[in-house]
């Protein structure tokens, strides 16, 4: 059955909703540092886009707790299937920062996952990663590998056929996969109420006989513990879980979007009172684990780390544009050969043009 109540551990004022819960201090501080690093990273990439250094960018500010908390619950051998907005999850699980920057620069290097992690490149088509995550999880089970899949998607993806096919197959075969929906209230510019009549995302799992849970997606403790429990259940053979993390993206859908056309300023400001970083700062301060000097130090270290990543990303030579004709088909068909030939002639003519002052 579905519980419409949000699972919440960390209250807005930094207190815990359950006095019996014990939070590991080292883990809480690590969470805070990751939240800050990812917020600094996200803001700087928005600035890079505005300066023309990267292409269109999908920001995630406001959703850091959903991504960091869930990614921290994974084991090294697990699989991650991210969307184009899940850079915080990718960074937390070990994807190199510079590669994420290269991805948004349109470089092929940005799609090469690290050797030590099973992280797929960001998925842009909506929901296509969901049945693939189920397939990978089923393969892990078939091969007796102790690995789970964690797949991210937004509320809009739950209206796609791939969502239902992936959940149905996972439930039938008890594939070790956790479906993690970040419900930020909008499917691009369409509000939740216009793209589904379901009162919650979590209830969509009931039709497939699947465990489901709704959580406060801005509560990093609730996200971490809920995802960890779901992964442990999947790993032990109990089957998949659908998690609905209720959260909010402060920025537009992408840097090519104007969110003011479909959202009010007041709505965004109201959500900032639930900010995941401010809430964790309040908790750490209550526990005597963070003062203003230490807080400033965390932000300065994050700035240095992100600045170094950006500097390196921009320092390498420009990519060879001919790479777009390579590594797709073993033998190029005539039309691709023709396109490549025309492109090279165009580039040769462009390089030979001399510009003089008129």
Catalytic residue among 39, 85, 214, 249: 249
37 token code pair:
């690093």
Check: CB of residue 61 under 8 Å from CB of residue 250: yes
Place of tokens 């969470």: 31
Contacts 24+ apart (CB under 8 A), 24-31: 25/287, 25/289, 27/72, 27/224, 28/221, 28/280, 28/283, 28/284, 28/287, 28/289, 29/284, 29/289, 29/290, 30/72, 31/68, 31/69, 31/72, 31/220, 31/224, 31/280
State yes or no: is 253 an active-site residue.
Answer: yes
Catalytic residue among 85, 87, 253, 279: 253
CA dihedral 222, 225, 228, 234 (to 10 degrees): -80
The three state secondary structure string of 292-328 is HHHHHHHHHHHHHHHHHHHHHHHHCCCCCHHHHHCCC
State yes or no: is 249 an active-site residue.
Answer: yes
Using alpha carbons, list the distances in angstroms from residue 233 to 73, 111, 114, 229, 263.
13, 31, 27, 6, 38
Catalytic residue among 43, 192, 235, 262: 262
Check: CB of residue 65 under 8 Å from CB of residue 34: no
Q: Indicate the length of the chain as a whole number.
A: 358
Query: Which residues does the annotation mark as catalytic?
Result: 249, 253, 262
């Amino acid at each position: 059955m579905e519980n419409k109540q949000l699972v919440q551990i960390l209250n807005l004022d930094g207190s815990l909703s359950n006095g019996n819960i014990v939070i590991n201090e080292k883990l809480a501080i690590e969470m805070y540092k990751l939240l800050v690093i990812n917020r600094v990273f996200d803001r700087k990439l928005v600035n890079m886009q505005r300066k023309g250094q990267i292409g269109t960018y999908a920001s995630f500010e406001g959703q850091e707790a959903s991504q960091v908390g869930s990614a921290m619950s994974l084991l090294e051998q697990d699989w991650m299937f991210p969307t184009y907005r899940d850079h915080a999850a990718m960074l937390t699980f070990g994807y190199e920062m510079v590669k994420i920057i290269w991805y948004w620069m349109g470089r092929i290097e940005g799609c090469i996952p690290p050797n030590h992690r099973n992280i797929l490149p960001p998925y842009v088509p909506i929901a296509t990663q969901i049945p693939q995550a189920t397939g990978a999880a089923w393969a892990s089970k078939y091969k007796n590998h102790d690995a789970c899949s964690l797949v991210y998607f937004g509320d809009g993806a739950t209206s796609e056929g791939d969502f239902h096919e992936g959940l149905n197959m996972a439930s039938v075969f008890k594939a070790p996969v956790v479906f993690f929906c970040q419900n930020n209230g909008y499917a691009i510019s369409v509000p939740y109420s216009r793209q589904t009549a379901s009162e919650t995302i979590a209830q969509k799992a009931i039709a497939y006989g699947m465990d489901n849970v709704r959580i406060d997606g801005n509560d990093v403790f609730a996200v971490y513990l809920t995802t960890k429990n779901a992964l442990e259940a999947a790993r032990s053979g109990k089957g998949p879980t659908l998690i609905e993390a209720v959260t909010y993206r402060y920025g537009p859908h992408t840097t090519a979007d104007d969110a003011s056309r479909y959202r009010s300023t007041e709505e965004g400001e109201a959500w900032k009172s639930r900010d995941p970083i401010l809430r964790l700062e309040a908790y750490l301060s209550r526990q005597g684990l963070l003062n203003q000097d230490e807080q400033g130090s965390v932000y300065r270290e994050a700035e240095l780390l992100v600045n170094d990543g950006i500097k390196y990303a921009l320092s390498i030579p420009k990519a060879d544009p001919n790479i777009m004709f390579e590594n797709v088909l073993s033998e190029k068909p005539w039309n691709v050969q023709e396109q490549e030939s025309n492109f090279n002639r165009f580039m040769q003519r462009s390089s030979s043009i001399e510009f003089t002052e008129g």
